[in-house]
Structure 1
Amino acid sequence: MKTTEYTAKAPDPQESLIRPGTELRLLLILSALMSFASVSTDMYLPALPTIGRDLHTNSSTIELTFSAFLIGFSLGQLLWGPISDRYGRRLPIAAGLVLFTVGSVGCALSTSVTEMMVWRVVQALGACVGPVLSRAMVRDLYDREQSARILSTLILIMGVAPLVGPLLGGQILVFWSWQGIFWTLAAVGVLALLSLLALPESLPLARRSTSPLRCSLASYLALLGDVRLMGYALSGGFFYAGAYAFIVGTPFAYIEYYHVSPQAYGWLFGVNILGMMAANFLNGRLLRQVESEQLFRIGTGILALTGVILAVNAWFGWGGLLGLVIPIFIYMSMNGLIVANSVAGALSSFPNNAGAASSLLGAMHYGSGILSAAMLGWFSDGTPWTMAWIMGLAGVGSLLTCVIAIRLYARQGLTVAQG
């Protein structure tokens, strides 16, 4: 059987950008940009019940503001990737941050749930530029194994945002209002714009795309036909579906069902971020001896197991609040073994259109959250069961997609070479 190797040409060396003296600054800025998804969602989580009451709507309707954000976040990534492949990374990032700031101000001034949904879409169209182009910049500068380690480092650093976000949101809710949360997000957007003064351009003119932007659709169709990319994207997408079911579902499961205070919810949420940071740190260390593909498989296996345990606990009510908190902690910690390794593996074959590939990957990852967030509203029964079975199903889906993808590689005679 003929064997075809997927190999990725290492990016052109850009030593002036990644010297020891500049790498830490670069990592800090990229991690801040990657955190915009978490900052935009996690900070307002403790305020969801309050926002629902103030805007005179129920929990399932106010959850649609989260779905609206994910719609804008997913579709926006498909736009920014090709633009950045053609015009470089810095200019699109600046434009996105302006949109994010305007959308945050609009949310703060909203007087109805419909207005907030519209402004959340605008906010998301800007927020998505940070994660998608941060991943592309990493691919510009590093090969596959280095990318996996750098992405783990970035996720480890950016873990501060989702850790602090709910805690800060809860405190703003006590001393200010839910509108104050969005004014704070607007200020974050302005600060991020200022940080671009210290961010170098990672995509040289020689490697920029010369294809018209109207050709982006054809480019995406070609990427959709890549078995390797789709395997990573779908498996990672199932993880994100479960993660967003957790993000949207826990404010009501913890605060309303188990009567946890908004401030205590911030601490319970933050414990999961600590688990994610620890797992990303471990992943970065293990990548020196273990291939990223193997760590990715291990992560999906643990994800499926803990997802099933969570669903069983919620169905029978075993363990009460701890019956949710403990398996969710393990489940969310698998972010450390799944996200960085799946992204690095997916992008390793696309050195010349990393922006488009990163956009498609991100759109599929975050787009999966649209469905899981909507399902919470459709099937909600007032208990944690809906959240739990969605997370369990997503965990099993992540594992099965990983296994199926590996079998497809074998049938087609594909071997994955470490880039």
Structure 2
Amino acid sequence: MRTSHLLLLIMLGALSGLTPLAVDMYLPAIPSIAEDLAASVESVQLTISTFLIGFAIGQLFYGPMVDSFGRKPVILFGVALFTLASIGCVFAESLPVLLLFRLLQAIGGAAGVVVVNALLRDLFSPDDVVRAMTIVILTMTLAPLVAPLLGGAMLALGWHSIFILLALLGALLWGAILVWIPETLKPKLRQPLRLGSVLSNYYRVLCHRKAMGSLLASTFSSAGMFAFISGSPYVYIQYFGVPAQHYGLLFGLNVLFLMGMTFINGRLVKRVGLLAMLRLGLILSAVAGLALVFNGATGWGGLWGIVIPVCCYVGQLGMVGANATSHALGFFPANAGTASALAGSLRFGVGALAGVAVNSVPATSALPMTGVMAVCGVLALGAHLWLGRTLRHPTRAG
């Protein structure tokens, strides 16, 4: 892999990391935001689900736009909207206003995921996409590693400072994209932006059994992580009494596991096979989910009875995410943006529902969070086994 490609992948990883940063950095500040806005912690936690809903909706619009107008104009618009919405969050004085700007922030950030996946599909061969995507994910995971730690440290300056930093990062990234990210969509591959063709392209992806087997497996697997993100501030800080400043340390353990699994996947995927690594990750998610619901119901292991299985669950995403997405996108070379948008929309839309499910139950134990994670892990494996019985890699099967 050329040095220029490596630098571009790091840039794409930073672009992908902007959204996890926006989700994870303010998690330790949720109790402070609730107090300042005279709202309950459960109500403020809904800003996470609101963000995920906006992220899902935004991708559905960006997918066809990426295939029609090109990669660069779409991402410049999205990052600009993200930056302006972050500034709006700084001046929010009530929960409804904060919810509105979080929704706009998410819609802007959604462009990043769609464009990054499409760029990878443009620049690399099917055999190299997984390795390239692994490097992007490895870079991207640095964001959630430092985000809760940084957010906890910035609480001394007030929760508003978190959104000021996000706005500054968005502005810097916008300038970097303008200078360094090329336009990769060839004119002959541009798709007319017509409603009928857009719906037809989405329908084509939805009806593709093999692609949907991978997309749904990735969707449910990721939803379990979003259930953790939504429920962990209560479970760790309030239920187990972990200081808010130390929350980021426990959160960071998950990211270390994720980075380790992502690295292992990148080293083994060509030797063992894309689908074999995907199945291994899905089995791990189901086992970790069942362990979580048992420990959450019985209290076995206390805090570490939750932390360790959560690390295993989040870690497996390093195997599932890149492999499932690469497999699904490989079937749609002319509609990579649309397929990527649907993948991201499903992932974050179902993730938002998982977060709502966690917060819809009165928080008195770890069981709401762990129960939803277990269901998601089992559904991910079930979707793969049901729809992917005859799966083969698209480079070897049409």
> Into which bin does the TM-score normalised by the smaller protein fall?
over 0.9
Contact 2:78 2:109 in 1 (8 A): yes
Contact 1:145 1:292 in 2 (8 A): no
2: distance between equivalents of 1:44 and 1:210? 40
Q: Where does the alignment leave 5 or more consecutive residues of structure 1 unmatched?
A: 1-18
Is residue 18 of structure 2 the alignment partner of residue 36 of structure 1? yes
What amino acid sits opposite 1:130 in the alignment? G
Q: Per the alignment, in what secondary structure is the counterpart of residue 92 of structure 2? A: coil
Residues 201, 213 of structure 1: alpha-carbon distance in 2 compared, 3 angstrom cutoff: farther
Q: 1:273 aligns with which of 226, 250, 255?
A: 255
Shift of 1:33: 1.1
Shift of 1:213: 5.2
2: distance between equivalents of 1:385 and 1:211? 46
Shift of 1:54: 1.0
Q: 1:398 aligns with which of 374, 380, 386?
A: 380
Q: 1:184 aligns with which of 161, 165, 170?
A: 165
1:284 is aligned to 266
CA RMSD in angstroms, aligned pairs only: 1.3
Bigger shift: 67-76 or 52-61?
52-61
What amino acid sits opposite 1:418 in the alignment? T
What are the equivalent positions in structure 2 for 1:160-199 lying under 5 Å apart?
A: 160-174=142-156, 176-196=157-177, 197-199=179-181
What are the equivalent positions in structure 2 for 1:336-415 lying under 5 Å apart?
A: 336-407=318-389, 409=390, 415=392
1: distance between equivalents of 2:78 and 2:20? 16
1:418 is aligned to 395
Shift of 1:246: 0.7
1: distance between equivalents of 2:242 and 2:143? 22
What are the equivalent positions in structure 2 for 1:221-240 lying under 5 Å apart?
A: 221-240=203-222
Show structure 1 runs of 4+ deviating over 6 A.
none
Q: Deviations over 1:276-313 (max 9, x none)?
A: 01100000000120111111011100110011001100
Is residue 229 of structure 2 the alignment partner of residue 247 of structure 1? yes
Is residue 283 of structure 2 the alignment partner of residue 301 of structure 1? yes
2: distance between equivalents of 1:27 and 1:391? 31
Contact 2:239 2:365 in 1 (8 A): yes
Is residue 217 of structure 2 the alignment partner of residue 217 of structure 1? no
Contact 1:243 1:332 in 2 (8 A): yes
Is residue 38 of structure 2 the alignment partner of residue 56 of structure 1? yes
Q: Where does the alignment leave 5 or more consecutive residues of structure 2 unmatched?
A: none
What are the equivalent positions in structure 2 for 1:93-108 lying under 5 Å apart?
A: 93-108=75-90
Shift of 1:416: 4.3
2:3 is aligned to 21
Contact 1:67 1:373 in 2 (8 A): yes
Q: 1:312 aligns with which of 291, 294, 313?
A: 294
Contact 1:44 1:166 in 2 (8 A): yes
Contact 1:36 1:128 in 2 (8 A): no
Contact 1:72 1:122 in 2 (8 A): yes
Residues 417, 222 of structure 1: alpha-carbon distance in 2 compared, 3 angstrom cutoff: closer
Shift of 1:406: 2.2
What amino acid sits opposite 2:262 in the alignment? N
Residues 211, 118 of structure 1: alpha-carbon distance in 2 compared, 3 angstrom cutoff: closer
2:114 is aligned to 132
Bigger shift: 357-366 or 207-216?
207-216
2: distance between equivalents of 1:346 and 1:317? 39
Shift of 1:37: 2.2
Q: Per the alignment, in what secondary structure is the counterpart of residue 35 of structure 1? A: helix
1:208 is aligned to 190
What amino acid sits opposite 2:162 in the alignment? I
Contact 2:72 2:182 in 1 (8 A): yes
Q: Deviations over 1:198-253 (max 9, x none)?
A: 11112121222135356312221222111112111111111111000111111110
What amino acid sits opposite 2:130 in the alignment? A
Bigger shift: 200-209 or 269-278?
200-209
2: distance between equivalents of 1:124 and 1:232? 25
Q: Deviations over 1:93-122 (max 9, x none)?
A: 000011101111111111111111111110
Q: Per the alignment, in what secondary structure is the counterpart of residue 381 of structure 1? A: coil
1:14 is aligned to none
2:60 is aligned to 78
Q: Per the alignment, in what secondary structure is the counterpart of residue 128 of structure 1? A: helix
Residues 213, 25 of structure 1: alpha-carbon distance in 2 compared, 3 angstrom cutoff: farther
Contact 1:36 1:131 in 2 (8 A): no
Contact 2:51 2:103 in 1 (8 A): yes
Shift of 1:132: 1.5
Q: 2:241 aligns with which of 259, 270, 275?
A: 259
What amino acid sits opposite 2:64 in the alignment? P
How high is the sequence identity, in percent, across the aligned residues?
Answer: 38
Contact 2:327 2:394 in 1 (8 A): no
Q: 2:91 aligns with which of 102, 109, 117?
A: 109
2: distance between equivalents of 1:97 and 1:336? 25
Bigger shift: 44-53 or 143-152?
143-152
Q: Deviations over 1:294-339 (max 9, x none)?
A: 1101110011001100110010001110010011011110011100
2: distance between equivalents of 1:317 and 1:48? 25
